[in-house]
Structure 1
C-alpha cells in the first residue's frame, strides 16, 4: 500500500514492518501506537483500545534499534496526531547499533520509504522475493500479507510448543540452539554485577534517537517498557560469544543506562517508565519460549499497569527495584537445568 490500497482484492498487510509501516500509516485510522521490538509483537491493539482508550495499532519492529524506530516515528508524526506511544527500551537497543546482534536488514533497504520522495519507493519491489511474487501472480501470505492487522505480528501461536518449561526447549528447538544453550548453562558462573560502567556513548545515542523525539512531541504520552527477560538470560548472557563479545550491555550496564534514563526523563512530563523485574514472573521459565521472549500474559500485564498507573519507576523507588532484581538474578537456581541436561545426554 505504498501508493494505494489494493483495487481488486481485500486489504492485506506484510508482517515486515520495516517495509509496511508506511502503507499502514498512510491508509489506516489510528491515533496511538505500539512500536517496540519482538517483545511487544504479541501486544493486542484491540486490548489496548479497551484498556487505554483511543485507537491503537501495533507497529513493533523485531530486533529494532532506536535509530530504526526513529525513522518510522518521524514519518508517523508527519502524518498523524499521535496521543500515546508504547515503546520498549530493550537491553540491546540501548547499545551502539554498530554492534550488530541480529541479521538486520541494512538501513538503506527501507529508509527511503520514509522520506518525502514517493518516486523512489518502488525500489522496495526490486528484489528477488517481490519479482518472483509478481511473475507468479502469487497470493501467498509472504507475497501479499495477512488480512488480520491485529494478529499480523503475533508469533506466540506459532511458538506455542516452546512455552511450558525447559523440557520443551530441549524437545522443540533445533540442535544448534539446544547445544549452545546447554553449554551456556553448564558453564555459567556466579552472578557478579560490575561498577564504574561507562555509558556516555549510550547517553548520546538515546538522546539523539529517543529523547529528541519525545522532547519534540510534548503532547504525546510515551510509555517506556523495560522488557522482563527471564532470570536465566541474565545468568548466562555473558557467555554468548556470538552476540556479547564486544562492548555489550550486560546487567550492570543495562542497569546503569536505565537509572540514568529514569533520572533524565524526570524533565519530560510526557514520559513514564514501567518495570516488572521485581515480580516473580521472570522466575518461571514456563512463561518463556527462550531465555528472552515471554508470553502474552506479560503484554497484558503491561497494558494493565499503564491503565492503573502501577509499576512506574522513579528516582525514589529505582534503587530498591534494581536491588530486588539483582538479588533475584543472583539467587536464581540453575541446578534443575543442569540436572535435566545431565539426565538427558
Structure 2
C-alpha cells in the first residue's frame, strides 16, 4: 500500500486544479442561488402582484399605488367597467359613482397627472383592447399635446403590452414593492381601506380660495415670462393629435367618445396671453382645428367649458390658476350627461366659443382689492363692431375708472405715434397737433409743454410700459365715457 511522504512536495499542477474546482463549485452555488432568488422574486411578484398586473386580488384587500402610470394598466385589464375617464390631473377629482349617474354605466378612472397625449393613448388603447369600453370621457388639455413635459420619469411600456417575457422589469423593480409598502402603510395609518371611488382624488387634501389663486397669479406672471421661446410649434401639436387621438377614433367606431376642454380659471388664460402669446394663440387655433377633425366621426362629441364665467371667474373654486374642485368635475359630468347645448360644440358655434373666451380674456382685470373686473373698451370708427374688442395684451386696474395698458398698443389703437426715450424713461405720444409726455413712475405729465397731473403714473412691468388709458386718450384730444354694465363689469367708450 502506497503511503505518501509528507515531506514530498506536491505535483506542480495540483494546486491550480484544486482552485479550478473550488471556482466551479462557487460559480455553481452562485448560479443556483441566483436562480433560486429569481424564482422566489418571480413567484412573489406573481402571487402578491403589487400593481394587480395579472389579476384583481381575491385573498386580500386591494392596495392601490398612487403612481398612476404603473397602477392604471392592471386596473384596465382586471376590473369591471364600461366607461373610462382619460386625462390629466384636471380629471382626477371625478367620482366614478357620480359619473355613473350622469352618463350611465360603470366607470373606471384612468387619469394620469401631467400626462402627455402618448401616455393617454397608451392607457386608452389598452382599455379599449379589452372590449369592455362603451364610453370614453376624455379631458383634453392643450398642453397634453406637447412633445415633452417636465419632471416626468420614463414611461413603463412593459406594463402596457402583452409580452410576458419583458415582465422581468416588473418583477425585479424595487419601486414596485416600495409602492406596495407605502400603500399598505397608508392603509394601516389611516385605518381606511382604499377604494376606486376616490383613487387619485385630491379634493379632500387641497385648499381652495381666491387668496391662493391670486398669490399664484402674481407668482406665475414672473415665472412664466421665460417660457415663451420654448413653445412647441402648431404643426408639432397637430401632429401629436393626429398620431395619438385620431387612431383611437378610427379603430373604435362603436365606442362613444366625449371630449371636453377643462375650465381653468380665467386668469390662466390671462397669464398665457401676457407671457406666452404663442401658446395662447395656438390653443385658440387648435380648438377650431380639432373640432374639424372630431366632427368627421359620428361617435365623437365635444364640450367646451372654458368660457363658463360662473365657474372660471369664481376663484374660490380653484386651488391655483388651473385646478378646480371636485364639485366642478361633477357639474361637468352632469352637463355632458344631459348633452347641454350651452357647452356642446357644433359646426355652427365653434367659432363663437373661441371668440367668447377671447373676449373674456381681453376684458379681465384684477383690481387692487383682488376682485375680478371686466372692462370693455371701444373706439367707434376705429374698426370696433362692438365694445370689448380693444387688443390690449396686458391690463392692470390701479383704481376706480382707470386702466393701465401697454403704451405701444394704446398708441396704435388711438392712431398716435409713440416715441420712447430710454435715458429718461419718457413716453412721447403725438396725435395730430397734440404732444403728450409722461415719464415712468411719475404722475407729472406735459401736454404741448404745459404741465398736467395724472392720477396714476405709467409703470414698467414685464418688459412693457403701461400707461393710463383714459388720461392718455383725453390728453390727446379724445373724450372717454365709462358706463357700468353690471357687477364689476364696465364699458369705456373713447369718442372724438
TM range (shorter): 0.7 to 0.9
- Matches of 2:224 and 2:160, distance apart in 1: 44
| CA separation of 1:27 and 1:203: change in aligned 2, threshold 3 A | same
| CA separation of 1:210 and 1:249: change in aligned 2, threshold 3 A | farther
Task: Determine which of 163, 178, 182 is the counterpart of 2:218.
Answer: 182
> In the alignment, does 2:255 pair up with 1:220?
yes
Q: Shift of residue 131 of structure 1? A: 5.0
- Decide which structure has greater strand share: 2
Say which SS state the counterpart of residue 260 (structure 1) adopts. helix
Unaligned runs of 5+ in 2: 1-51, 226-231, 372-496
Say which SS state the counterpart of residue 302 (structure 1) adopts. helix
Unaligned runs of 5+ in 1: 171-177, 190-196, 340-345
Aligned pair count? 310
- Matches of 2:74 and 2:224, distance apart in 1: 46
- Matches of 1:206 and 1:326, distance apart in 2: 23
- What residue in structure 2 maps to residue 261 of structure 1? 290
Contact 1:44 1:151 survives alignment (8 Å): yes
For 1:123-272, what aligned pairs fall within 5 Å after superposition? Answer: 123-124=169-170, 126-130=172-176, 139-141=184-186, 147-159=194-206, 161=207, 163-167=208-212, 170=215, 181-185=217-221, 199-237=234-272, 250-272=279-301
Task: Determine which of 241, 260, 274 is the counterpart of 2:303.
Answer: 274
For 1:1-345, what aligned pairs fall within 5 Å after superposition? Answer: 1-6=52-57, 8-95=59-146, 97-98=147-148, 100=149, 102-107=150-155, 110-124=156-170, 126-130=172-176, 139-141=184-186, 147-159=194-206, 161=207, 163-167=208-212, 170=215, 181-185=217-221, 199-237=234-272, 250-280=279-309, 281-310=311-340, 311-336=343-368
Q: CA RMSD in A?
A: 3.1
Say which SS state the counterpart of residue 33 (structure 1) adopts. strand
Contact 1:188 1:235 survives alignment (8 Å): no
| CA separation of 1:125 and 1:282: change in aligned 2, threshold 3 A | farther
- What residue in structure 1 maps to residue 493 of structure 2? none
- What residue in structure 2 maps to residue 343 of structure 1? none
| CA separation of 1:285 and 1:115: change in aligned 2, threshold 3 A | same
Q: Shift of residue 266 of structure 1? A: 1.4
Contact 1:283 1:332 survives alignment (8 Å): no
With a CA cutoff of 8 Å and minimum separation of 6, indicate the structure with the bigger relative contact order. 1
Q: What is the TM-score normalised by the length of structure 2?
A: 0.57
Based on CA coordinates, which of the two structures has the bigger radius of gyration?
Answer: 2
Say which SS state the counterpart of residue 198 (structure 2) adopts. coil
Contact 1:185 1:337 survives alignment (8 Å): no
